[in-house]
Structure 1
């Protein structure tokens, strides 16, 4: 009886892990072979665009972001650049105000209400066909806005751009992870919609915008709201924003905890999208890409404990080999942790396992926050003086 239970636990959790990280993107790739592409907006008149930049204590980067925005290859008469300051207490507002004569608008919001509520208020004030949301540290390619615009069609309410990381980043695992995520988003977009946006670069049709709860993570829930209302979200891989990854794995861990905490709290407001009888394609994507992924730290613990039990009770060499493989993976991750702790450059063979486990640790803490009824509404700007 115990052996049977261990076998079910091991293979069930192992299948969940293999599915969310490997089988899911493979199934998407297979699905796209039978899926027709969606027509873009090419050939129609250009819409007006409001580029809305989120800022909280961004004095180190906001000038570079505004200069980048002013140089975008999009008609200036159709592009309105807006920076909202969530009660910044450094020189952010002063720097932005210096660009007023060049058409940049500063909207200061008092009360430290968080990014999502700031976006709601600004979206309500802006008169433009499309709203493009960006972060202060996201540097756009010159044609990024134009590429976002081309992604729209009559039934598309949101277009998500591609975030890329500078190769010089100290946290290589994050860059590796985002390349993997970008590949999945391309596939998801071809069969239905990506399951989330990207706070660095995504656009929403003004008439499709749905105000979000201040506690929600807007680049996740806004696309979900648009999908719930019957429109599609599309991915524009040629609409590129560049960022540097976190300067330390500690910073990346805190970011992961914040995102997963808010994501669990947010998905609780969209139970109907998890119902396969409502939309089997999108429910499959949401369960496979998000729910199973967020549960992966629990699955990792179960599969490891069950493997130990099977290796001790079953004569099969297979379980011995699988357990040895797990121990080797965790050993590589330990070497990656030591390299990070002592600031030693490490190869991907040990850095990626370490990054993977740290990301799962962050997801575990995010899940625990959600189960305790905790959420994280406001964000803190990274101290870039240490980079």
Structure 2
């Protein structure tokens, strides 16, 4: 019985330790001596005479106000990319509050404006925007960020790398909290090394470039369009690069509640992709299966592993020390924690935030079990949600 309790405590803890500390070391070792083809192409372009850049279409799917979209179009037009080889397509959400004519007036001829497909949402907007696009390369952008002057050029240049189907950039938040800043520093380091091995697991939907011929229409109820694109390319044998110098700067300041809601959406979207496209779970289909499993899928099971380990620790202590001793230790620990939190309220706030983050996988799992894919909608709308027909999801393969 004691061995069983020890195993229950140790095995989940070991898995957690590997995910949080071992995986970064593993991916670093695997990337040693390798260079991503997209990085090679970008570096070569800086020292060799530049070949003619392709005609591109920058696609912005949005439901933001016309003045916000107009500012974004001006930023895109200020890019270092040749203006005569770039068009901007704005796809306005089918459920946007403002009429389409307001967006046409706001962009003042600097962009093509189209109406997003029904029933609305980003995936439906992207489908409409890409249909209207004419470029051989698609660059995707959101309306709230702004690109650095070199962002588009670096993304497009990275596509010249051998076997590269898409290149993702980096989102830089002007205002954020230290915990999230450290998280994004970790993500950038991981993505850089994943690209050197084969591909990043997911581009940032607000800043990436894609070969036009590799585009596949998206199911309207899709949550994570960026994950859909990235994993679809990997399943078809293409590589997905990462360019740190291709920056999209976001001036917004997000509350922790907004971060929480976004994490619930993205983790629900991860489960959705696995349900709709199970090939991503197969090692012989997914060239980045190890990284997909460790870097993405384990996020779903982290709270369950932590709970199992805590149960194992408590059970082991009970068997070794006895029930009264364990109870006394738990009471003393709780009192000490309460005193510390009273003296340092900020520490308590951070602890509560960390505890809330552990709830994200539980909520995402509940969404998936109930088929609640409309995670942006109201509760009533989610209750009426149903899964789209299976054939619509097969566009990945």
- TM-score normalized by structure 1? 0.83
1:227 and 2:234 are equivalent in the alignment: yes
Which whole-Å CA distance do the structure 2 matches of 1:296 and 1:243 have between them? 29
Native 8 Å contact 1:115 1:379 kept in 2: no
Native 8 Å contact 2:36 2:198 kept in 1: no
Q: Which consecutive residues of structure 1, in runs of 5 or more, have no partner in the other structure?
A: 340-345, 381-387
1:156 and 2:155 are equivalent in the alignment: no
**For residue 197 of structure 1, what is the aligned residue in structure 2?**
203
Q: Please, which of 273, 277, 281 is the counterpart of residue 274 of structure 1?
A: 281
Deviates further, 264-273 or 18-27 = 264-273
How far does residue 353 in structure 1 lie from its aligned partner after superposition? 4.8
Deviation readout 1:218-238 (Å, 9 max, x if unpaired): 100111111111111011111
Q: Please, which of 350, 358, 361 is the counterpart of residue 360 of structure 1?
A: 358
Which whole-Å CA distance do the structure 2 matches of 1:80 and 1:331 have between them? 58
After superposition, the Cα gap between the structure-2 partners of 1:231 and 1:90, relative to the gap in structure 1 and judged at 3 Å, is: same
Native 8 Å contact 2:87 2:111 kept in 1: yes
How far does residue 58 in structure 1 lie from its aligned partner after superposition? 3.5
Task: Give aligned pairs, total.
Answer: 358
Native 8 Å contact 2:166 2:208 kept in 1: yes
How far does residue 282 in structure 1 lie from its aligned partner after superposition? 0.8
Deviation readout 1:134-161 (Å, 9 max, x if unpaired): 1111111111101101211241111110
After superposition, the Cα gap between the structure-2 partners of 1:148 and 1:65, relative to the gap in structure 1 and judged at 3 Å, is: same
Native 8 Å contact 1:173 1:351 kept in 2: no
Deviation readout 1:101-147 (Å, 9 max, x if unpaired): 44211112253421112212321231111111111111111111011
**For residue 296 of structure 2, what is the aligned residue in structure 1?**
290
Which whole-Å CA distance do the structure 2 matches of 1:57 and 1:36 have between them? 39
Rg larger for: 2
How far does residue 184 in structure 1 lie from its aligned partner after superposition? 0.9
How far does residue 305 in structure 1 lie from its aligned partner after superposition? 2.1
Which whole-Å CA distance do the structure 2 matches of 1:115 and 1:173 have between them? 28
**For residue 173 of structure 1, what is the aligned residue in structure 2?**
179
Correspondence 1:1-387 to 2 at 5 A: 1=1, 3-38=2-37, 39-40=40-41, 42=45, 43-59=50-66, 61-91=68-98, 93=100, 96-109=103-116, 111-152=118-159, 153-166=161-174, 168-169=175-176, 171-216=177-222, 217-244=224-251, 246-278=253-285, 282-314=288-320, 346=346, 353-376=351-374
How far does residue 74 in structure 1 lie from its aligned partner after superposition? 0.8
**For residue 384 of structure 1, what is the aligned residue in structure 2?**
none
After superposition, the Cα gap between the structure-2 partners of 1:33 and 1:215, relative to the gap in structure 1 and judged at 3 Å, is: same
Q: Which consecutive residues of structure 2, in runs of 5 or more, have no partner in the other structure?
A: 379-397
Deviates further, 264-273 or 250-259 = 264-273
- SS for the counterpart of 2:288 is helix
- SS for the counterpart of 2:180 is helix
Native 8 Å contact 2:264 2:360 kept in 1: yes
Deviates further, 48-57 or 233-242 = 48-57
Deviation readout 1:257-297 (Å, 9 max, x if unpaired): 12211221112233333223445x51101101011122212
- TM-score normalized by structure 2? 0.81
How far does residue 60 in structure 1 lie from its aligned partner after superposition? 6.5
After superposition, the Cα gap between the structure-2 partners of 1:238 and 1:31, relative to the gap in structure 1 and judged at 3 Å, is: same
Native 8 Å contact 2:147 2:249 kept in 1: yes
- SS for the counterpart of 1:133 is strand
Native 8 Å contact 1:195 1:285 kept in 2: yes
Native 8 Å contact 2:119 2:220 kept in 1: no
Deviates further, 111-120 or 228-237 = 111-120
How far does residue 64 in structure 1 lie from its aligned partner after superposition? 2.7
**For residue 386 of structure 2, what is the aligned residue in structure 1?**
none
Which whole-Å CA distance do the structure 2 matches of 1:262 and 1:158 have between them? 20
How far does residue 79 in structure 1 lie from its aligned partner after superposition? 1.2
- SS for the counterpart of 2:172 is strand
- SS for the counterpart of 1:83 is strand
Which whole-Å CA distance do the structure 2 matches of 1:220 and 1:371 have between them? 20
How far does residue 241 in structure 1 lie from its aligned partner after superposition? 0.6
